[in-house]
Amino acid sequence: MERTELLIVGAGAAGISAACAAWDAGCRDVLLADRLPYAGGILPQCIHEGFGLSAFGSELTGPAYVERLAEGLAQRGVRFLPGKEVLAVTKEKTAVLSGKGGVEEIRFERLILATGSRERTVGSLSIAGTRPAGIFTAGQAQEMINLHHWRLGSQVVILGSGDMGMILARRFTLEGKQVLAVLEQDAHYGGLARNFHRCIEAYQIPIRYRCTVREIHGMPRITGVTVEALDNGKSEFLPCDTLVTAIGLVPERELIRGFEKEPWLSLAGNCSRVYELADSAAAEGAKVGRYVGKQLVK
C-alpha cells in the first residue's frame, strides 16, 4: 500500500495553498488529490474578475488566479493526483481513492481536508409544486455555461442575491437571456457591494426584496413560479423557463463524519467555513499547511 506523510484532499485555493505551505515548512512528502481532472476547485468556472486583490495585489479572473497558484505548486515537489476521488477515510489513517487506474488505498500520517462546500438545492426549501427540468443551482449553471457552453434557458428567475446569485444574473444577461428578477428574502442584497454595483446596477437587472418562491409550476419544463411578498403575503405568478437557486453553501465534510476530532485531521478552506473570498480560503489553507508541515518535520 502506498504511504505518504501528508495527504491533502481537494486542490482548490485552500488545498493548493496548504500543500505549498507544508512543503515550505520542510515536509517533503505531500500528496494532493482531487476528483477533478484539473487543479483549482471552483475557480476555473469563475471567469469573472474579482480574485486575488490581497494575495497578488491585482484583480484576477478565477482561471488566472489558479494559474498563479499552480505556478507555486509546480515550483515545489508536491505530488498532484488529478482525477482521483477520495471515497472514504478510515480511523486507521487510510484513504480509499478511485480514479482511472481503479481503486487504491493510501496510508497517511496527517490529513488536511480541503474539500470545499456544496450548494443548498431547491429541495432544502419548502416550495410547493412540481420539480420540472430547468431548475439549476448557481454553481451548476455557472459550470454549464462557462465551462461547457450550454444554453440553459431564456427567461430566468434567480432566487438569492448573494455573490453567486448576482454574478449569475450578470452572466445570463451577457449571454443574451432575460433575467426577470433576482429574488431576495431580506431587505438588502446578500453579497458584496462591488458585485451589486457591477452585476445588478450596471446591467439594470430587477431585484425584489422581502419575497420568495412559494410554488414551482410546469412539467416537464418549468413554466413559472409563484412569488410571495413576505411583508403582506401577496402572491403573483411569474412566468419563466429557468429557475436558478443561489441559496447558500454548506461545508463539505462527508468524508470525516464521525471522527472530526481526530488529532491527525485538519480542515482548510470552505470545508472549514464558507469564505466569500478565495484569498481568505487560500490564506487559511496556507496557515493550516504550515502548521501541519512543521509538526511533521519535528
**Which of 163/228 has CB closer to ligand FAD?**
163
Please report the sign of the dihedral spanned by the C-alpha atoms of residue 11, residue 17, residue 18, residue 21. positive
- Count of helix runs (H) and strand runs (E) in the chain: 7, 20
**Which of 169/238 has CB closer to ligand FAD?**
169
Q: How far is the CB of 117 from ligand FAD (least distance, A)?
A: 6
Where do the H-state alpha helices sit in 25-124? 53-56, 62-74
**Which of 11/211 has CB closer to ligand FAD?**
11
Q: How far is the CB of 238 from ligand FAD (least distance, A)?
A: 24
Q: How far is the CB of 15 from ligand FAD (least distance, A)?
A: 5
Amino acid identity of residue 17, one-letter, is: S
Amino acid identity of residue 224, one-letter, is: G
Q: How far is the CB of 223 from ligand FAD (least distance, A)?
A: 27
Angle, nearest 10°, between helix axes 278-297 and 13-24?
A: 30
**Which of 38/209 has CB closer to ligand FAD?**
38
133 DSSP 8-state letter = B
| Residue closest to 115 by CA, chosen among 12, 261, 258 | 12
Residue 280: Cβ within 10 Å count: 17
User: Exposed, middle or buried: residue 252 (CB in 10 Å: 0-12, 13-18, 19+)?
Assistant: middle
Q: How far is the CB of 298 from ligand FAD (least distance, A)?
A: 27
Phi, psi of 85 (to 5 degrees): -90, 130
**Which of 72/132 has CB closer to ligand FAD?**
72
Amino acid identity of residue 92, one-letter, is: E
| Residues lying near ligand FAD in the complex (CB under 6 A) | 9-15, 33-36, 41-43, 46, 50-51, 85-86, 114-116, 139, 142, 163-164, 167, 252, 255, 269-270, 275, 277-279, 281
**Which of 86/106 has CB closer to ligand FAD?**
86
Q: How far is the CB of 236 from ligand FAD (least distance, A)?
A: 28
